[in-house]
Amino acid sequence: MTGVASPPELRRLLAAMPVPADLPLPPPAAVLAAVEEAGLVGRGGGGFPTARKLAAVAGGRRRSVLVANGAEGEPLSQKDALLLTVAPGLVLDGIALAAHAVGATVAYLCLHRGSPALPAVRAALAARSGGVEVRLRETPDRYVASEESALVRLLSGGRALPTSRPPLPAERGVRRAPTLVLNVETLAGIALAVRGGAEAYRTVGDPAEPGTLLVTVAGAVPAPGVVELPTGTPVGFALEAAGATRESVGAVLTGGYGGAWLGRDAAWWAPLTYAGLRSVGGVLGPGLLAVLPPGGSACGLAETARIARYLAGESAGQCGPCVFGLPAIAGALEAVVQAGPDAAEAAAAVRRWTASVAGRGACRHPDGAARLVDSALRAFVDDVAGHVHGRPCGSLLRVLPVPEPSTEDRS
């Protein structure tokens, strides 16, 4: 893992200030108020206001459960592992504060199996002497395993597969208890907002989605890694922090493999907020940007076809539209890339099926895969035209890594 140097004065989450274990906890109402006033927005990919998630579980009569999600299912994402390595004390303080605020007596800290952050997290846990019980859990290294309901099911003694909603985890979560699931970066943000004050928290970043943001920059850049920037910073600045220049970027995959492609010009000035990226057809997701080089040295459609095939294999296998739709979409996109006589028909099938599968799974896995493929047809429209007219892409350069299918029991 490479850490990209953020300017030190911008670092909040990655400031690596030692956080003393077992700091005193303010009253629950004060924690809730600070998070509300700070305007903290979740950093796991959903972009939901954190205060509302807390409020949905706080104040109930039943004992609740907190799940700290550091499982990082997106293959290219490194930001949670870096945060947990550099500032595990900050995350644990956020866990203590959030658990206290919602009346949780147990918290699960979830990392994927073999996470590079495990040693730092274990050391930080050993330094604690009281407070909420924090149980470290390693989750299967699988795309859908880090989804909220999949974690709840795993922690309830089942397999790490998404479940149908309702009920929401806040209503009936881990072993039927009301459950609050928050990303570890969100929890670190809670610690910053409560300990430093909501006003100070709001002094950086976009007014509607304040604070700083961890962004993983991957793909064809000289120095891939994680950078911390104020929310609202243009995408191009994050790419420059990883050594890219405007000329070295052809297209940007925003939001990860369940995200969306943007052409270089659409992406460059887009602000790094949920709303900002959405407004240009991109996705912030868990703060992921992957760069494709310009000028025909790589094929965005071929990259997308490989990712689509990977995502099809990562389906939990529970919902028909995902089980059948994702392999069909991947196969049709492969046919487009091969530029055979059936390429035009295949392109039409891709469009029909991506529109069909969205919103028809228990989780958002099919939605993300469909969005990725649909965005590729738009961002690489010239390549689509070339392929349907029988011109395959000359390049075999592979830019974005796709994990090998695992043979171990991934439940």
Query: Is 158 a residue that touches other proteins (CB under 8 A)?
Result: no
Q: From residue 11, give the alpha-carbon distance in Å to each of 194, 203, 230, 376.
A: 17, 13, 9, 34
The residue from 192, 252, 305, 319 that contacts other proteins (CB under 8 A) is: 319
Q: Nearer to other proteins by C-beta: 237 or 324?
A: 324
Give the per-residue SS3 of the chain. CCECCCCHHHCCCCCCCCCCCCCCCCCHHHHHHHHHHHCCECCCCCCCEHHHHHHHHCCCCCCEEEEEEECCCCCCCCHHHHHHHHCHHHHHHHHHHHHHHHCEEEEEEEEECCCCCHHHHHHHHHCCCCCCEEEEEEECCCHHHHCHHHHHHHHCCCCCCCCCCCCCCCCCCHHHCCEEEEEHHHHHHHHHHHHHCHHHHCCCEECCEECEEEEEEEECCCCCEEEEEECCCEHHHHHHHCCCCHHHCCEEEECCCCCEEEEHHHHHCCECCHHHHHHCCCCCCCCEEEEECCCCCCCHHHHHHHHHHHHHHCCCCCCHHHHHHHHHHHHHHHHHHHCCCCHHHHHHHHHHHHHHHCCCCCCCHHHHHHHHHHHHHHHCHHHHHHHHCCCCCCCCCCCCCCCCCCCCCCC
Compute the least distance from the CB of residue 170 to other proteins, in Å. Answer: 19
Query: Is 411 a residue that touches other proteins (CB under 8 A)?
Result: no
Q: Nearer to other proteins by C-beta: 182 or 363?
A: 363
Query: Is 163 a residue that touches other proteins (CB under 8 A)?
Result: yes
Query: Is 328 a residue that touches other proteins (CB under 8 A)?
Result: yes
Query: Is 325 a residue that touches other proteins (CB under 8 A)?
Result: yes
Q: Nearer to other proteins by C-beta: 7 or 359?
A: 359
Distance, first Cα to last Cα, the chain: 26
Q: Nearer to other proteins by C-beta: 184 or 335?
A: 335
The residue from 362, 369, 376, 393 that contacts other proteins (CB under 8 A) is: 362
The residue from 105, 164, 279, 411 that contacts other proteins (CB under 8 A) is: 164
The residue from 361, 375, 380, 410 that contacts other proteins (CB under 8 A) is: 361
**Interacting positions 275-304 with other proteins (CB under 8 A):** none
Query: Is 168 a residue that touches other proteins (CB under 8 A)?
Result: no
Contact window for other proteins (CB under 8 A) among 64-72, 176-184, 274-282, 319-327: 319-327
Query: Is 151 a residue that touches other proteins (CB under 8 A)?
Result: no
Q: Nearer to other proteins by C-beta: 19 or 349?
A: 349
The residue from 356, 378, 395, 397 that contacts other proteins (CB under 8 A) is: 356
Compute the least distance from the CB of residue 356 to other proteins, in Å. Answer: 5
Compute the least distance from the CB of residue 350 to other proteins, in Å. Answer: 13
Q: Nearer to other proteins by C-beta: 193 or 358?
A: 358
Query: Is 321 a residue that touches other proteins (CB under 8 A)?
Result: yes
CB 358 within 8 A of CB 370: yes
The residue from 160, 353, 400, 410 that contacts other proteins (CB under 8 A) is: 353
Query: Is 360 a residue that touches other proteins (CB under 8 A)?
Result: yes
Q: How many residues bind other proteins (CB under 8 A)?
A: 14
Compute the least distance from the CB of residue 366 to other proteins, in Å. Answer: 9
**Interacting positions 186-225 with other proteins (CB under 8 A):** none
d(CA 233, CA 368) in angstroms, rounded, equals 24
Binding site for other proteins (CB under 8 A): 163-164, 318-321, 324-325, 328, 353, 356, 360-362
